[in-house]
Each structure stands twice: as structure tokens, then as C-alpha cells.
Amino acid sequence: MKLFKLENWKVEIAPEALTIVDFKELVKRDKSKTKEHAINELSFIFFFCDSRSDYLYIDDPTERMEAIKTDLNLPKKWKPDELVTKAMNTYLKLSVTIFSTALDDVRVAIRKITQNLREADYKNMDANEINKSTSSIKQVGPLLKEFKELEREVLAEIEEDSITSKDRTILDSGFKAFNDIETLKGIQDGN
């Protein structure tokens, strides 16, 4: 289900998304005429959870949350409360597919590979370790090219909205994003 989309650097919320109770509750509790806070919270959900988000390069959920909060101009002390967390889980259930989950997993793997290359101590490596590192370096280019192609396919799949909720399986649940939400719940609870 295509609930939100990014258009002209602004998160657009599909009218039907606002018929879903968890999203409607966020809008309902914002008593202002402009509903700016509700729009920012819904935008936060998109940027934190969606495979199309430019913030997914940040693996640490707390760091990602802080970056999104800053860019959305949410208050410094703002944290996802129970309503926002519930809406995030609903968003994931309705929008995550096996393809977007795989894309997120590949993104994390590439980040780990490049991080290992960045942290390698070439001064203290033996010839075998240098050969392994060189082999990894040679694989990064083709890997990034394949990732870009996978990303295009996943984004096209999301745009086509080809998977309906009745076609979903347990593999479509987006386990990583749910774990990130659990991390934020710990922050919410003061842990």
C-alpha cells in the first residue's frame, strides 16, 4: 500500500492513509489549524521507516531519529510516544515488502563492508590479509552497481504498488525496522 510519498522534498500523505486509525489519531490530537505537528510526526514515520528514505544510511536508530528530528524541526525533547510508535508499526505492516526488506539488508551489508575497509590497518597486515582487503575493494564497485539496480527495482515496485495487503507473507514484515522501533521504545521508556 502506498501510504506516503516524497514529492518535491515534501512528504505527501495519501488521503486514504488518513482513514487508518493510527494515522488519524496523530492528526486528531494536533489541535492546530495547520496540523503542522501531525504532519511532522507522519513525515518522521516516513523518513524513519520507508525504504525510500534518505536517512536509511544511518544504521543506529537513535542517531537516525535525531537527524530526522533536527531536519523536521521537531522539538529537541520530542521522542516517538506510544501513538507515534503504534503508527510506525502500522506503517511498516502496510508498506514493507520482501523486496524492501532485502534492499535494507543489502544496504546494511554494503555499509559494513565499506566500514571494514575504512578501518583496516594496512601497516600491520600480512600479505594474505592485504590480498583479502584488495579483493574486497575490487568487489565494492560491482556490488554498488548491483545495489543501485536492486534499489531501482524496489522503488519501482513500491511505486507500482503491486503487492496488496492480502498478498503479504511473514517475510514481508520488515524485521529490521521493527527492531529499530523497539530500540526507540527503550528510549521512550527511559532505558
**Given this model, what pLDDT does residue 166 score?**
40
**Given this model, what pLDDT does residue 132 score?**
85
Q: Are 171 and 100 in contact (CB under 8 A)?
A: no
Comparing C-alpha atoms, which of 46, 11, 34, 29 is closest to residue 82?
A: 29
Q: Render pLDDT for 95-142 as a digit per residue (tens, 0 to 9).
A: 777 787 888 888 888 888 888 888 888 888 888 888 888 888 888 888
**Given this model, what pLDDT does residue 178 score?**
62
* 96, 120, 122 from 161: Cα distances, Å: 11, 42, 47
**Given this model, what pLDDT does residue 165 score?**
42
- Residue 35 pLDDT exceeds 80: yes
Q: What is the mean pLDDT of the chain?
A: 82
**Given this model, what pLDDT does residue 48 score?**
94
* 27, 75, 92, 160, 178 from 86: Cα distances, Å: 14, 20, 10, 26, 11
**Given this model, what pLDDT does residue 190 score?**
66
**Given this model, what pLDDT does residue 158 score?**
67
Sequence-separated (6 or more) residues with CB below 8 Å from residue 154: 51, 97, 99, 100, 102, 103
Q: Cβ–Cβ contacts within 10 Å for residue 185, how many? A: 15
- Residue 168 pLDDT exceeds 70: no
Q: Render pLDDT for 42-90 as a digit per residue (tens, 0 to 9).
A: 999 999 988 788 898 888 899 999 999 999 999 999 999 999 999 999 9
One-letter amino acid of 167: D
